[in-house]
Amino acid sequence: MAVKKGTPKIVIQGGGRLAGELSVQGAKNSILPLLSATVLCQGESVLHNCPNLSDADAACRILNCLGCKCAREGKSISVNSKEVLNTDVPKDLMREMRSSIVFLGAILGRTHQCKLTFPGGCELGPRPIDLHVMALRKMGVNIEEKGGFLNCNAPKGIQGANISLALPSVGATENIILAAVTAKGTTEIHNAAREPEITDLAEFLNKCGAKISGAGTGTVIIEGVEQLGGAEHTVISDRIVAATYLCCAAITRGELVLKNVDYRHISAVLPVLEQMGCRIYTYDDNKIYINAKKQLRAPYKITTSAHPGFPTDAQPMFMALASTLEGTTMFVETIFDNRFRHAEGFSRLGAKITVSDRVAVVEGTDKLTGADLEATDLRGGAALITAALFAQKTSTITGITHIDRGYDDIVGNLKKIGANIKNA
């Protein structure tokens, strides 16, 4: 693979054992809906524990385009939404980040109108928004899809509605909550997503004066209120970043203490690591210790599913780990159509992986050898780093802008626990 001279890359000399302790960053998939939620607040909000991520920067740029004054100070972001002057999200910013669709519900909730482009598909296959559109139409929003744009308006304001989701979509659940908090009447969401990021969003909105109950369960009830004020809130820790570092420790047969992590948010991931032979201790409510110093074996089968099941976002890193375990592991990906692209990178390192549609079969090997790799999506990129930590000799990874979307200084953190890794 010819890499253009000067292309930013990560260089890893694999084979070393990781050991030490790390503090886990705030959650990317929480900070994005939280920043969107500030559009609804007629006042100033401050969010703490905000990771330095390009996706968070993009969300702040959208807020500033809307007329909300957004400013970062270290790990805190303040947003003053006294005035929302604009209801259109610029095309280039919509394209920069697919998850900017989550601004739709908040802008509609505040201004009853919005114009934005269809969110770009991404590396994980088509990213439809039919559930978002179905629900918002039920809430009285006229949505016209024309020339790649969504033109939305609610002349009679947003109405509460009874909504059943065909599947527990995280983004659709978030958009419905954001549109419903200042709607006329009550909204019920059935078959709602139960991810911890939904609970975090509801907790922030309730601090602002919303009336949301049932967040984190399959049925969420939102009683519309007149208006919301601002609030201060600390973003939950990133469960997928935590799972990533646990996989990095496990693949190098090392040991690691993770701080500022809620082990309950990865309750489907920890048993899989134990099944492989890792020793896991959770303590002090916000720490996880992993010891992977002994012979590990394949966990036979990993099937992704909506929370509280095994998270699809952790599947790539676990496939990297499974590539180095004695035995065979079958991965079944039930959430996204095209989420095995990282397998090609692992095969370049010498992994034995067969992919057929949404099933991948991994035959573990005790030998991977460094290669030149390219990240094609966020978690796939993190998984390539994970695999390269095990591979003998040197690996290079380009496409690191994908990784910067969701990891705050992954190179610095891995270096801190003994990895031979650097930006070049």
Q: Is 152 a catalytic residue?
A: no
Could you say which residues in the range 197-236 bind ligand EPZ, by CB under 6 A?
none
74 burial class (0-12, 13-18, 19+ CB within 10 angstroms)? exposed
Could you say which residues in the range 254-273 bind ligand EPZ, by CB under 6 A?
none
Judged by CB under 6 A, which of 46, 278, 296, 335 binds ligand EPZ? 335
Q: How many Cα atoms occupy the beta-carbon half-sphere of 399 within 13 Å? A: 20
Binding flag, residue 312, ligand EPZ (CB under 6 A): yes
CB of 181 to ligand EPZ, least distance (A): 18
Binding flag, residue 313, ligand EPZ (CB under 6 A): yes
Distance CA 78, CA 32 (A): 14
Judged by CB under 6 A, which of 18, 56, 131, 177 binds ligand EPZ? 131
Terminal CA-to-CA distance of the chain, rounded, Å? 17
CB neighbours (10 Å) of residue 4?
6
Closest residue to ligand EPZ in the complex (CB): 171
SS in 3 state form for 313-374? HHHHHHHHHHCCCECEEEEECCCCCCCCCHHHHHHHHCCEEEEECCEEEEECCCCCECCEEE
Could you say which residues in the range 365-404 bind ligand EPZ, by CB under 6 A?
378-379
Segment lying near ligand EPZ (by CB under 6 A), choices 26-34, 77-85, 216-224, 391-399:
26-34
Out of 41, 70, 122, 208, the active site residue is: 122
CB of 122 to ligand EPZ, least distance (A): 8
Q: What token pair was written down for 138? A: 């039920």
| Per-residue binding letters, 91-130, with ligand EPZ (x by CB under 6 A) | --------x---------------------------xxxx
Binding flag, residue 247, ligand EPZ (CB under 6 A): no
Sign of CA dihedral 404, 409, 414, 415: positive
CB 137 within 8 A of CB 143: yes
Binding flag, residue 348, ligand EPZ (CB under 6 A): no
Distance CA 57, CA 313 (A): 21
Distance CA 105, CA 69 (A): 19
Judged by CB under 6 A, which of 201, 406, 407, 414 binds ligand EPZ? 406
Catalytic residue annotation? 122
Residues lying near ligand EPZ in the complex (CB under 6 A): 28-29, 32, 99, 127-132, 167, 169-172, 193, 312-313, 335-336, 378-379, 406
